[in-house]
Amino acid sequence: MSPKPDVSEERKEQITEAATKVFAEQGFDKARMDDIATEANLSKGTLYLYFKSKDAIIKHLLDKLFEREFADLQSLTDDPRPASEKLITFSETMITEMQTWTRLIPIMYEFLGRLFRQSVVQKAFKKYMRFYLDLITPVIQQGIDEGEFKAGNAEDVAITIGAIFEGTILLWVYDSEMIDLEKHLSSGMKLLMDGLKA
Amino acid sequence: MSPKPDVSEERKEQITEAATKVFAEQGFDKARMDDIATEANLSKGTLYLYFKSKDAIIKHLLDKLFEREFADLQSLTDDPRPASEKLITFSETMITEMQTWTRLIPIMYEFLGRLFRQSVVQKAFKKYMRFYLDLITPVIQQGIDEGEFKAGNAEDVAITIGAIFEGTILLWVYDSEMIDLEKHLSSGMKLLMDGLKA
DNA sequence: TCCTTATAACTGACCAGTCAGTCAGTTGTT
DNA sequence: AACAACTGACTGACTGGTCAGTTATAAGGA
């Protein structure tokens, strides 16, 4: 038995939370390890007990964000309803999910902008895209097969849907006065589905 | 009269070009002023004769990019054709224009990701969005008024078009194997216009 | 209950590398 | 001679990461 309880999970959580706050306020560049340490009520040295480097903290944050987005969508696969209804559910789920971590989205974009050169990040993104397309493409295909949607390439449609989501978020990140995230995601999705109908 | 011809425009151009190349290869952070100087066949000191700082070079680059995208689209305003044709022209112009500076798009995104916190950049982006919406919204409205498009909020539609463009580009930046920029921009635009038709 | 001890947890001064920006000096042209 | 153009060694500020030393706590013994 060790003379002290293992606090490493607790500390990692504590550091991650502090890092999120500091990164959100200062951006990745300006944020110093000392800032994160102060925010976490720890010393800089302690940070290095739990994370190998600054980049490791950033990567950990990314993983958590992706993981979170994956989780709520899996259910769609076995849903027996018509394609159009499933797409609406998908869209609503995404919008709701998004609202819960609004504050983190800008960080995510900064992160992607900063690290897209790194293959780790590119791989994570590709994996995310693959997951998304494998989820949505079959739904579109189902719609086409059942005569609900007009004929066409299902994956191209899925990509356009993805683009509408990513694009609306991007516009919103830069101009949140002009863009109402929920409203414009809905109206974009609706417009697209009108175009899909047979 | 000065004893030598003024070379400052030439130098600025030379430095901008070198900086573009270095930034594209290394990213903004890793790129050192010495790298840019070497690439431009100048010394670091000379860089500072023509640009106040590294940030000034980056800002100059951004200005050039925005300027370039603005230029080719102005003509649309006085175009007498039906809305749907104008939208197609718009889309084709954007795609063509994009192809000429493909190499710079990732820089642009890195730039936006990095600096969205800075009000100068946010203002530039808002100005760009305003320009874009003021160009496209009236075209949509025209289509609605002339009965070509179904009724709805013209600006919302314009925003969705913008989102499709920005989103497709974003996906392409991260996964250029999966996304064919020209093909997916076209198919997205087509899908949306089908949804628009009255 | 108190003391000893092992060791996990933690600290923060320090190191080493980096790099934007400066400036005293050089070059070349008129 | 005059002056614009240019150079590159140097400086100063910064910060990610290290590590020798300190503190706190549980376990075991008296």
pLDDT digits (tens, 9 = 90+) for A1-30: 444 566 778 899 999 999 988 987 887 878
Judgement on whether residues A9 and A78 belong to the same structural domain of the protein: no
- The answer to whether B178 and A162 have CB atoms below 8 angstroms apart is no
- The answer to whether B171 and A159 have CB atoms below 8 angstroms apart is yes
- The answer to whether B102 and B170 have CB atoms below 8 angstroms apart is no
Q: Which residue has the higher pLDDT, B28 or A171?
A: A171
Judgement on whether residues A21 and A97 belong to the same structural domain of the protein: no
Residue of chain B minimizing CA distance to A108: B113
Judgement on whether residues B61 and B124 belong to the same structural domain of the protein: yes
Cβ–Cβ below 8 Å for A194 and B194: yes
Judgement on whether residues B159 and B70 belong to the same structural domain of the protein: yes
* pLDDT value at A63 more than 70: yes
Judgement on whether residues B47 and B141 belong to the same structural domain of the protein: no
Q: What is the mean pLDDT of residues B103-124?
A: 72
Q: Which residue has the higher pLDDT, A193 or B65?
A: A193
Query: What's the mean per-residue pLDDT of chain A?
Result: 86
The stretches of B31-118 forming alpha helices (DSSP H) are 33-39, 44-50, 54-71, 83-100, 105-115
Least confident of A37-46, A57-66, B87-96, B115-124: B115-124
Q: What percent of chain A has a predicted confidence (pLDDT) above 90? A: 50
Domain boundary among B14, B35, B51: B51
Task: Measure the CA–CA gap between A185 and A95, rounded to whole angstroms.
Answer: 8
- Here the CATH number for the domain that contains residue B104 is 1.10.357.10
Number of domains in chain B: 2
Residues of B in contact with A179 (CB under 8 A): 159
Query: What's the mean per-residue pLDDT of chain B?
Result: 87
Chain C: bases < 7 Å from a protein Cβ: 6-13, 18-24, 28-30
Task: Measure the CA–CA gap between B47 and B33, rounded to whole angstroms.
Answer: 8
Angle CA A14–A103–A185, to nearest 5: 145
Whether A165 and chain B come into contact, CB under 8 Å, resolves to yes
- The DSSP element (H or E) to which B125 belongs, if any, is helix B119-145
* pLDDT value at B66 more than 80: no
Judgement on whether residues B34 and B72 belong to the same structural domain of the protein: no
Q: Domain range holding B151?
A: 53-194
Which DSSP symbol is given to B150?
Answer: -
Residues of A in contact with B54 (CB under 8 A): none
What are the two backbone dihedrals, phi and then psi, of residue B82, each rounded to the nearest 5 degrees? -65, 155
Q: What is the mean pLDDT of residues B34-60?
A: 94
What are the two backbone dihedrals, phi and then psi, of residue B43, each rounded to the nearest 5 degrees? -95, 160
Select the residue of A174, A193, A195 nearest B116 (Cβ to Cβ).
A174
Q: What percent of chain B has a predicted confidence (pLDDT) above 70? A: 92
Residues B147-164: pLDDT tens digits?
999 999 999 999 999 999
Q: What is the mean pLDDT of residues A35-52?
A: 95
Cβ–Cβ below 8 Å for B163 and A164: yes
Q: What is the mean pLDDT of residues A147-164?
A: 96
* pLDDT value at B77 more than 90: no
Within 13 Å of residue A102, how many CA atoms lie on the same side as its CB? 9
- In Å, how far are A155, A157, B85, B195 from B192, measured between CA atoms? 15, 10, 14, 5
* pLDDT value at B3 more than 60: no
Using the CB atoms, write b or e for B125-155: b if 16+ within 10 Å: beebbeebbebbbbbbbbbbeeebbeebebb
What residues pair up with A197 in beta bridges, in sequence order? A149
Pick the most confident of A102-106, A120-124, B76-80, B148-152: B148-152
Judgement on whether residues B39 and B10 belong to the same structural domain of the protein: yes
Those of residues 54-93 in B touching chain A at CB distance below 8 A are none
| pLDDT attached to residue A84 | 92
Judgement on whether residues A143 and A60 belong to the same structural domain of the protein: yes
Q: Which residue has the higher pLDDT, A167 or B174?
A: A167
Domain boundary among B14, B31, B51: B51
Residues of A in contact with B192 (CB under 8 A): 160, 191-192, 195
Task: Measure the CA–CA gap between B99 and B109, rounded to whole angstroms.
Answer: 16
- Tokens 């990019």 appear where? B65
Within 13 Å of residue A124, how many CA atoms lie on the same side as its CB? 21
Judgement on whether residues A105 and A65 belong to the same structural domain of the protein: yes
* pLDDT value at A36 more than 90: yes
Task: Measure the CA–CA gap between B165 and B143, rounded to whole angstroms.
Answer: 20
Judgement on whether residues B82 and B178 belong to the same structural domain of the protein: yes
Altogether, the residues listed in chain A come to a count of 198
- Here the CATH number for the domain that contains residue A33 is 1.10.10.60
Judgement on whether residues B21 and B67 belong to the same structural domain of the protein: no
Judgement on whether residues B33 and B15 belong to the same structural domain of the protein: yes
Torsional sign, CA B65, B68, B70, B73:
negative
